[in-house]
Amino acid sequence: MLQTIRQGSFILFPLLLFFVSEAQGQLGFCGGNSGDPIFTETFGTGTTDGPPLPAGTTNYRFTTGTPSDGDYTVSSTTDYFDWHDTPDHTENDTDGKSFIVNADFTAGEFFRRTVNGLCENTSYEFSSWLINLQTSRGCGGAGIPVNVKFEIWDNTDTNLLASGDTGNIPNTSSPVWRPYGLVFRTVPGQTSVILKMTNNGNGGCGNDLAIDDIVFRTCGDFISITDTENRSNIAICDDAIPISTTLTANPDFSIYSTHAYQWQESFDGNNWADIPGENNQTYTTPNITTDTFYRVKIAEDAVNLANPLCSSLSEVFDILIIAKPAAPLSNGDVSSCENETPSLSVSVPNNVTANWYDAATGGTLLQASSSTYQPTTAGVYYAEASAILADCTSDTRTAVRLDIFPLPQLIDQTLSFCENSAIVLSADLDMANYLWNTGETAKEIEVDRAGIYSVLVTDTNGCAATKVITLEQIDVPKISNIRSEGYDIVIGTEENGTYEYSLDGLNYQTSNVLEAIAGGSYVIRVRENNGCGEVTQNFVHFVIPNFFTPNGDGINDLFIAEGIEFFDTSEVSIFDRFGKLLKQTSNAQISWNGTFNNKALPESDYWYLIRVDDETYKGHFSLKR
């Protein structure tokens, strides 16, 4: 059956609700208030197909199996062909049935039903639910759509009172029940009508439908009820009772031109009783101390008020007495870390919410209508219970405390360690839990690899912070090369580090160039400034002078290749610029005084060819007088 919000209220259809005229060809629903159903067809319940509809209801063939074109069945299943398999529409039905139709090859009428017991000169609403059973993939996606005409005829079957077409109802990927309706008015002397349903399309692949929940009910004005403050309902705290008010019925004159009234009263919203003698448009209630509901039954003529088939019902005016709520129940004080978003909460009954304040009484409203509150500072906060339906609050408030703890104070570090050694990393904070990105859980860990290390430190309050340690490795120095450049010794290393250099192991310098060093054999030392190791390497510093001055002053009087004596083999040859051999020695220190055959040679450039072990040096030097 179609369901209303409350008996006597206007019908809310999930897909469609609008005003309609009584003109033929127009589908629609009652735009005002309706009465109780006077005719309902839900097609029953059960798992057995049938029974067949009464004779004269349809000219289609009844079947208890799969309906072919021109067949119908009454069943709790629609699991035929590749149709949607859907339950019927009637709410709260168990194995509810619907009227299932496989359209005939020829369009035409497939359902008629006479509805009796109507009132003359009265507006009614017919409504029904319909579904296209074909899926969107049925018939290759090209199935014949469902298209039905609804008609209301007088009992002579000669006067059409109202009609309307559904239009094409397309196939869908999932089952969709749709509501359709007509509004019509009986004429004088008329107490029954004939409902007809006609298939506008031919049968074939598609045009398969089911119908359920056929309902007839009166259609009257839309009638609201208001009090002297223009309210449509009252909810009041029980500390303000008793209460009395004057109610007014407000018809919109959309259906009725005149109005007769009968006020009704209910204490549960379901069971209603006429209030004797209350037949005016207004009604003043007695003093009320408990939930009470009021509505008014309206007809165009007082004689029809006693007949539910000829009257309609207004909206319901609720007068609800709301009990003063008790203070909320605290869900506990909260402790939070400063990087979290704390949430305080209380428990309240249904239809009760909470307001949060900064004081036990008075104070500032911090948040309304919520059982939770998220403060940003520590302190004590107070929750007051508040009824949702009325301005009705608890006499006391519930205190909830918030403590906010600071995070562990950690300082990131950049550390270094020597190659081929290890270093201890520390989380710093005592009395905590630790989780390193290495998986270790101690306060301190020992590592021997460069990289980025982190430790999650959780203190005794459960607050956590992360410390990051960037660990850099200091390499042990490695000598890549040593070379002589004149009297200077130049030392190269494989890495760029902070190194110091020495010849004697006592005196160190930061420059890698040892200057003005006499030729000879030396032990070269390179050490890392932070104490990460020292390396040594033997080196023969071989110095070939660029000039000499054999003038007898005792200074630089001889051409000497310094350090040559430290090579296993050596040979030195000196030539003039014409290639004449002037001096030659083998495996001995050369000491040339600038003469040839005991005659002093003039100032000039002279050439040398020196072979020491596997190396050869060629060049020239100057003789200066």
Say how many C-beta atoms besides its own lie within 10 A of residue 118's C-beta: 20
> How far apart are the C-alpha atoms of 211 and 74, rounded to whole Å?
10
Q: Which of the residue ranges 11-25, 152-166, 537-551, 591-605 would you say has the lowest mean pLDDT?
A: 11-25
Considering the domain architecture, whether residues 298 and 343 belong to the same structural domain is answered as no
CB contact at 8 A, 279 and 260: yes
Residues 67 and 194 in one domain: yes
Among residues 184, 219, 254, which one ends one of the domains?
219
| Residue 96, C-beta contacts closer than 8 angstroms, at least 6 positions apart | 42, 43, 44, 45, 76, 87, 88, 89, 90, 212
Look up tokens 């009609």; give the residue. Answer: 163
Q: What is the pLDDT of residue 38?
A: 85
pLDDT at 1 over 50: no
pLDDT of residue 2: 30
The pLDDT confidence band at residue 457, using thresholds 50, 70 and 90, is very high
Claim to verify: residue 44 and residue 147 sit in the same structural domain: yes
Confidence at residue 34, expressed as pLDDT on a 0 to 100 scale: 80
* pLDDT computed for residue 387 by the predictor: 95
Token representation of residue 448: 């021997």
pLDDT value of residue 272:
95
Alpha carbon distance 493, 478 (integer Å): 5
Give the CATH number, domain containing residue 614: 2.60.40
Tokens describing residue 610: 């020196």
Residue 474 pairs with which residues in a beta bridge? Answer: 418
According to the model, what pLDDT value does residue 496 have? 84
Instruction: Verify that 166 and 233 share a domain, yes or no.
Output: no
Give the percent of the chain with pLDDT over 70: 96
3-state secondary structure of 291: coil
Residue 13 has pLDDT above 50, yes or no: no
What is the per-residue pLDDT across 344-372, written as a single tens digit (0 to 9) for each?
Answer: 999 999 999 999 999 999 999 999 999 99
Domain boundary residue among 526, 541, 556?
A: 541
- How does pLDDT run across 77-120, given as a tens digit for each residue? 999 999 999 999 999 999 999 999 999 999 999 999 999 988 88
Residue 19 included in any domain: no
List 146's β-bridge partners, or say none.
169
Asked if residues 52 and 44 have their Cβ atoms less than 8 Å apart, the reply is no
What tokens does 298 get? 């309206």
454 token code pair: 């982190």
Please indicate, yes or no, whether residues 67 and 157 belong to a single structural domain of this protein. yes
Same-domain check for residues 509 and 467: no
- Rounded alpha-carbon distances, angstroms, from residue 532 to 181, 414, 423, 482: 95, 17, 13, 21
Residue 33 has pLDDT above 50, yes or no: yes
Under the banding of pLDDT at 50, 70 and 90, the label for residue 202 is confident
First-last CA distance in the chain: 133
Co-location of 50 and 180 in the same domain: yes
Closest CA to 463 of 432, 419, 502, 490: 432
Query: What's the burial of 102, exposed, middle or buried (CB within 10 Å: 0-12/13-18/19+)?
Result: buried
Burial of 297 (0-12, 13-18, 19+ CB in 10 A): buried
What average pLDDT is seen over the chain? 91
What does residue 302 show for φ and ψ, rounded to 5 degrees? -60, -30
Percentage of the chain beyond pLDDT 90 is 82
The pLDDT of residue 489 is above 90: yes
152 and 52: one domain?
A: yes
| Minimum mean pLDDT range among 6-10, 230-234, 239-243, 487-491 | 6-10
**Residues 467, 520 within the same domain:** no
The CATH code of the domain that includes 72 is 2.60.120.260
Taking only the tens place, the pLDDT of each residue in 499-517 is 999 999 999 999 999 999 9
- Is 232 inside a domain boundary? yes
For residue 308, which of 264, 267, 338 has the smallest C-alpha distance?
264
Helices (H), 394-510: none
* Domain assignment of residue 15, yes or no: no
517 and 552, same domain (yes or no)? no
Task: Please tell me whether residues 195 and 143 are part of one structural domain.
Answer: yes
Whether the predicted pLDDT of 21 surpasses 90:
no
Count CB-CB contacts under 10 A for residue 546: 11
The tokens describing 281, both together, are 């448009």
Element (H, E) at 454: strand 451-458
Please tell me the distance from the alpha carbon of residue 96 to that of residue 47, in angstroms, as a whole number: 8
Residue where a domain terminates, one of 176, 198, 219: 219
Is pLDDT at 5 greater than 60 in this prediction?
no
Residue 525, domain extent: 479-541
Domain CATH code at residue 349: 2.60.40.10
Q: Is residue 292 part of a domain?
A: yes
The pLDDT tens digits of the residues spanning 274-305 come to: 999 999 999 999 999 999 999 999 998 888 88
SS3 call for 518: coil
CA distances from 511 to 92, 96, 480, 502, 534 (A): 96, 100, 16, 10, 16
Amino acid in position 283: Y
Q: Domains in the chain: how many in total?
A: 6
- Written as one string, the DSSP assignment of 342-403 is --EEEE--TTEEEEEESSSSS--EEE-S-SEE--SS-EEEEEEEEESSSS-B-SS-EEEEEE
Three-class DSSP category at 341: coil
Same domain, yes or no: 179 and 104: yes
Confidence check: pLDDT of 11 > 80: no
pTM to 2 decimal places: 0.54
**Interval 381-396 mean pLDDT:** 95
Q: Distance from CA of residue 98 to its chain's centroid?
A: 41
Among 11-20, 180-189, 486-495, the range scoring the smallest mean pLDDT is 11-20
